[in-house]
Amino acid sequence: MGIVTPWPANGRAIPQQTGFDRHELTRILDLYGRMVAAGRWRDYAMDFHRDVAIFSAFRRAAERPEYRIEKRPALRSRQGMWALVSEAGAILKRGDELSNILAPVERKLMKLVED
């Protein structure tokens, strides 16, 4: 006999994984490129699971990621679906908009200009 796959009861298919849309990925990779040009980051990784999508940025490939940018759509109505996580695993910033989450990392690119 064949394998019977049940049809979703509520009419909506459950997503198999969470991912970044094109605009979000463009913003993240733009920041990554600027950090590489500044010599701060050298490698990245992306993980896609059912409930979370993670972009990890590394100083060196053999270390833990310096930052993780996490997207958790289930937390959209509570704490905000975006989170910036440090190397130690502490949540540095959480919110609804990606630009607010990337702001602390972008501040590291700013340099003091003297007259």
| Structural domain contains residue 51 | yes
For 82, list phi and psi in degrees, rounded to 5.
Answer: -100, 145
Looking at residue 71, what is its pLDDT?
92
Average pLDDT, the chain: 85
CA distance 37 to 25: 18
* Maximum average pLDDT range among 5-9, 100-104, 111-115: 100-104
Q: What is the pLDDT of residues 62-111, one digit of tens each?
A: 778 999 999 988 888 888 889 999 998 899 999 999 999 999 998 888 76
Q: Which domain holds residue 26?
A: 22-107
State how far the Cα of 24 lies from the Cα of 101, in Å rounded to an integer: 12
Kindly list the distances between the CA atom of residue 70 and the CA atoms of 10, 19, 41, 62, 104, in Å, as whole numbers in the listed order.
28, 10, 18, 21, 15
Q: Where are the beta strands (DSSP E) in the chain?
A: 43-48, 53-58, 67-71, 82-86, 91-95
pLDDT digits (tens, 9 = 90+) for 32-67: 999 999 888 999 999 999 999 999 999 887 778 999
Domains: count for the chain: 1
Kindly tell me if the per-residue pLDDT of 13 is higher than 50.
Answer: yes
Residue 5 lies in a domain: no
Do the domain assignments include residue 79? Answer: yes
Query: Hey, is 105 helix, strand or coil?
Result: helix
In a domain, 10, yes or no: no
Q: Which residues contact 8 (CB under 8 A, 6 or more apart)?
A: 14
